[in-house]
Amino acid sequence: MKMKNVKNFFVLIFISLLFGPLAMAQTTAGTSVTNQASVDYEVGGVAQTPVDSNISDFVVALYD
């Protein structure tokens, strides 16, 4: 069983290395991005007040 976990780990690393650069290449350097998260939840079936995070602004950097 342990060897199977090691094999799966290396397969995951290989896939990450193979497709990671493709995922990063989707946004052009210099693009301005604004991001905000929010959560809407219930406690004991009672709806709670939604909570918003702070707004985060950043510019996509160019990595060579």
pLDDT digits (tens, 9 = 90+) for 26-50: 788 899 999 999 999 999 999 999 9
**Does 16 fall in a domain?**
yes
The pLDDT value recorded for residue 63 is 73
Half-sphere exposure of 61 (CA within 13 A, CB side): 2
Structural domain contains residue 41: yes
| Total of domains in the chain | 1
Whether the full predicted model's pTM is greater than 0.85, yes or no, is no
Quick check: is 46 in a domain? yes
Instruction: For residue 26, give its domain range.
Output: 2-59
The pLDDT of residue 41 is: 92
| Mean pLDDT confidence for 50-54 | 95
Question: Could you write out the DSSP letters of every residue in 11-63?
Answer: HHHHHHHHHHHHHHTTS-TT-EEEE--EE--EETTEEPPPEEPPPEEEEPPP-
Residue 53 lies in a domain: yes
**What average pLDDT does the structure give for the chain?**
85
Residue 64 maps to a domain: no
pLDDT of residue 14: 83
